[in-house]
Amino acid sequence: MSSDHIKIVWIYPDLLSTYGDQGNTLVLERRAALRGIPTETVHLRSDEPVPQDGDIYLLGGGEDRPQILAAQRLRNDGGLHAAARRNAVIFAVCAGYQIMGHEFGGDEGQPLPGLGLLDIRSYRGQQRAVGEVVSDVAAELQVPRVTGFENHMGATTIGPNARPFSKVVSGVGNGDGQGFEGAYQGHILGTYMHGPALVRNPALADLLLTWALGRQLQPLEPSWSERLRDERLNAVVPS
Amino acid sequence: MSKLPLRSQLAVALGRTAASMSRLAGKGDGSVIGGRIGLRLDPELLTRLAADRKLVLVSATNGKTTTTRLITSAMTPLGEVATNAFGANMPTGHVSALASAPGARYGVLECDEKYVPMVLKETGANLVALMNLSRDQMDRAAEIWLLAGKWRKALELSPQSHVIANCDDPLVTWGAATAKSVTWVAAGQHWREDSWCCPECGGPLDRQDGEENSDWRCRQCHFARPRPDWVLRGDHVVDPHGRAIPLSGLNLPGRANRSNAAIALAVVAQFGVPPEQALPLMAEVKSVAGRYTTVEHQGRTMRLLLSKNPAGWLEAFDVLQPAPGPVALSVNAQGPDGRDTSWLWDVDYRILRGRPVWVTGERRIDLAARLEAAEVSFTVVDDFEQAVQAVPPGHLDVIANYTAFQNIRTRYGRVV
């Protein structure tokens, strides 16, 4: 992981890619390329083994049934567990976030086993959370206020080994009454934010690249992503 | 009408009055408010209005308004046809459509995907046309796997309904497979990102990708593409007798409309209207609720294309003028559009490289970020008119999502 080459593994776009999750892949590729760092991206179908040499693994959102299938296949495969043991970066959104935890709510609300890589538990909430989210990221991550769009029925509680990714300013987030959005543990970061989150929050994309490379990155000229972030923040929490 | 009970007659009359008042007040065509009032006075109004008629329900994520128009047009030799031509595709709209054509023995009703089970139950429709299912405005729409499951249950309980279904779409095939009788139409599927998994067992689907062969089957279970009765092949439809029927006379562009026409031909054949009679009637449809309309404005010929979701954008790209023809894109995110713009990242915009591209709409910055990542050159303008002024006189293709489309259409002339 110290070599200046990043292998991105997009986990199961055939199951976990309901809403623009490809954007997270594209923005990582782009922000690496602008710094002269080559990337290689694997679009991993759910009938293929998870490569164990990835630097950044991405999991997106999905419907109930695909989420259950994805969790089963990833548990059977074990490749993502191996990657986590290597301290690889894993960024998981919505349904993908939930399956990173110990358990999540199935299509009838029944508890189903997750991958247990992130110390969270998810369950079916009382009502669907739909709308823009703004939250302030945990100070140690050094990422400014983030913006996204949430659309989930599940609620998530963070256990002692994980930390809240951010504190909700507007929106629902984890929805367990604690006022947090997302969770992280080592290099595993989960969030309910679509948007896609890394497009709307370039600093978050850079955090993942920094983790993967193990070094600081040179700053980039502002792009349309920064303007999008400003525009969204202003639309939701007018300054 | 005379067969309706008094209460239902009153419900129809009051609904019609409300609709006229709504029209007079300039609030649309009034079909929703009229139907709402009618249904409130008589909750069984839809069932009563549907009785003794031959009804077709048309549903899909994309193309249902257009296909409804094509079928309705092709059925005119049979007599008067009741239809919800304005796209009011929920029960309130269905009530209005049927109430306003009391003498029509036939009805063709566009139906929102979620309402298929309810409307099927209430009307006992004779024919149900099911065309495609793909991701669409997920902040308010149902999950499509769930939706197809509901179609299955509803069709199982409606054995009198014959189904016309697109067997190139695995999810639609699964949704239709419980019907007692089905005519399968190989109508094509261009957006495949929602159908890589078997709807039956979740296993991987093996798919062919050719003009002559779009077969698919599950690697793990028995589920596979049924043998089609009708096949869309390029510019032709091959009917169940093996006759190749050219679609070149259609006045709606693109492969999506050839697909819609293939479904429509299979539907009207069930009523005894042969393709050679149906096609010239379908060719009379030149624009549908403003879609595909050409608007002249200050020497610019603008063609308006509506694209509401990723599959819809693929269809719009298919009918663009060849590069370097200019394109203006407008995206909003109001309620009817879906408030989440993440879907923009499901669309592959690289096809726009090498064209002058203007970007506008309330969510133009989302679109700009998307095009930047796709390495498409573009210019952002605050107002659509600036894009119009910036292109030289000549052709301009305009692709917009729902409310953005309506804004442009209202501004530059409503042509239905």
pLDDT at A3: 56
Residue holding tokens 């043998």?
B227
Q: Does B266 map to a domain?
A: yes
A224-234: average pLDDT: 96
Among the three residues B282, B315, B348, which one is the final residue of a domain in this structure? Answer: B282
Both B160 and B229 in one domain: the answer is: yes
Tokens describing residue B343? 């879907």
Taking every pair of Cα atoms in chain B, the longest distance, rounded to a whole number of angstroms, is: 64
Domain ranges of chain A: 6-236
Both B134 and B216 in one domain: the answer is: yes
Q: Is A152 a residue of the active site?
A: no
Q: Does B8 map to a domain?
A: no
CA of B125 to nearest chain A CA: how many angstroms apart?
Answer: 30
Both B342 and B390 in one domain: the answer is: yes
Assign A217 a pLDDT band (cuts: 50, 70, 90). very high
Residue type, B146: L
d(CA B189, CA B209): 10
**Strand, helix or coil for residue A6:** strand
Both B162 and B223 in one domain: the answer is: yes
Both B247 and B321 in one domain: the answer is: no
- CATH at B66: 3.40.1190.10
DSSP H/E element including B366: helix B364-373
Both B98 and B232 in one domain: the answer is: yes
Domain A6-236: give its CATH superfamily.
Class I glutamine amidotransferase (GATase) domain (3.40.50.880)
**Cross-chain Cβ contact B365/A227 below 8 Å:** yes
Residue holding tokens 């978050």?
A204
Nearest CA in chain A to B362: A231
Asked if B343 has any chain A CB less than 8 Å from its own CB, the reply is: yes
Q: Is A81 a residue of the active site?
A: no
pLDDT at A1: 42
Q: Answer whether B263's CB lies under 8 Å from B229's CB.
A: no
CA of B54 to nearest chain A CA: how many angstroms apart?
Answer: 36
Among the three residues B282, B305, B336, which one is the final residue of a domain in this structure? Answer: B282
Closest by CA position to A134, among listed A210, A226, A238: A238
Q: Answer whether B138's CB lies under 8 Å from A94's CB.
A: no
Residue A116 has pLDDT above 90, yes or no: yes
d(CA B294, CA B415): 9
d(CA B100, CA B135): 33
**Cross-chain Cβ contact B345/A46 below 8 Å:** no
Closest by CA position to B299, among listed B199, B389, B404: B389
Contacts of A131 in chain B (CB under 8 A): 139, 339
pLDDT at B1: 47
CA of A161 to nearest chain B CA: how many angstroms apart?
Answer: 31
Both B64 and B187 in one domain: the answer is: yes
d(CA B267, CA B261): 10
Residue type, B87: G
List, for chain B, all residue ranges whose pLDDT scores fall below the cut of 50: 1, 415-416
Residue A146 has pLDDT above 50, yes or no: yes
Residue A19 has pLDDT above 90, yes or no: no
pLDDT at B161: 97
Q: What angle do CA B255, B115, A62 make, to 5 degrees?
A: 70
Nearest CA in chain A to B345: A20
B162-166 and A56-59 beta bridge pairing: unpaired
Asked if A45 has any chain B CB less than 8 Å from its own CB, the reply is: yes
Give yes or no for a cis peptide into A202 (omega within 30° of 0).
no
Both B344 and B202 in one domain: the answer is: no
Residue type, B304: L
Q: Answer whether A182's CB lies under 8 Å from A173's CB.
A: yes
DSSP string for B87-122: ---SHHHHHHHHHT-TT-SEEEEE--GGGHHHHHHH
Beta bridge partners of B181: B162
A170-194: average pLDDT: 97
A112-129: average pLDDT: 95
DSSP H/E element including A164: strand A163-170
Comparing CB atoms, the residue among A13, A22, A64 nearest residue B143 is A64
DSSP state of B288: B
List the helix and strand counts (H, then E) for chain A. 7, 11
pLDDT at B141: 63
Q: Does B28 map to a domain?
A: no
Among the three residues B248, B282, B316, which one is the final residue of a domain in this structure? Answer: B282
pLDDT at A90: 98
How many domains are contained in chain B?
Answer: 2
Q: Answer whether B67's CB lies under 8 Å from B128's CB.
A: no
Domain, as residue range, for B379: 294-412
Q: Answer whether B257's CB lies under 8 Å from B264's CB.
A: no
**Cross-chain Cβ contact B369/A223 below 8 Å:** yes
Q: Measuring CA to CA, how many Å separate A75 from each of A64, A97, A154?
A: 17, 15, 20
Reported as half-sphere exposure (CB side, CA atoms, 13 A), residue B2 has a value of: 0
Residue, of B287 and A49, whose pLDDT is higher: A49
d(CA B132, CA A146): 36
d(CA A218, CA A121): 37
Tokens describing residue B99? 């109430």
**Would you call A214 exposed, middle or buried from its count of C-beta atoms within 10 A (0-12, 13-18, 19+)?**
exposed
Percent of chain B with pLDDT over 90: 71
d(CA A162, CA B156): 48
Q: Answer whether B166's CB lies under 8 Å from B181's CB.
A: no
Question: Where is average pLDDT lowest: A3-17, A32-46, A81-95, A215-229?
Answer: A3-17
Q: What are phi and psi of B352, to 5 degrees?
A: -85, -5
Q: Which entry of A5, A94, A102, A152 is annotated as an active-site residue?
A: A94
Both B227 and B302 in one domain: the answer is: no
Calculate Rg over the CA atoms of chain A. Answer: 16
Both B226 and B103 in one domain: the answer is: yes
**Mean pLDDT score of chain A, rounded to an integer?**
95
d(CA B95, CA B84): 9
Tokens describing residue A9? 């593994």
- CATH at B319: 3.90.190.20
Q: Does B21 map to a domain?
A: no
CB atoms within 10 A of CB B58: 33
Tokens describing residue A18? 């309901």
Tokens describing residue A3? 């070599």
Q: Does B368 map to a domain?
A: yes
Distance of CA B187 to the CA centre of its chain: 14
pLDDT at B140: 60
* Cβ-based neighbours of B173, under 8 Å, separated by 6 or more: B165, B166, B167, B184, B199, B225, B226
Closest by CA position to B279, among listed B69, B74, B58, B76: B74
pTM for this structure? Answer: 0.90
* Cβ-based neighbours of B224, under 8 Å, separated by 6 or more: B215, B216, B217, B218
Q: Does B168 map to a domain?
A: yes
pLDDT at B136: 83
pLDDT at B416: 38
Q: Answer whether B12's CB lies under 8 Å from B31's CB.
A: no
Q: Does B174 map to a domain?
A: yes
d(CA B186, CA B211): 11
ipTM of predicted complex = 0.95
**Cross-chain Cβ contact A195/B339 below 8 Å:** no
Both B302 and B255 in one domain: the answer is: no
Both B46 and B177 in one domain: the answer is: yes
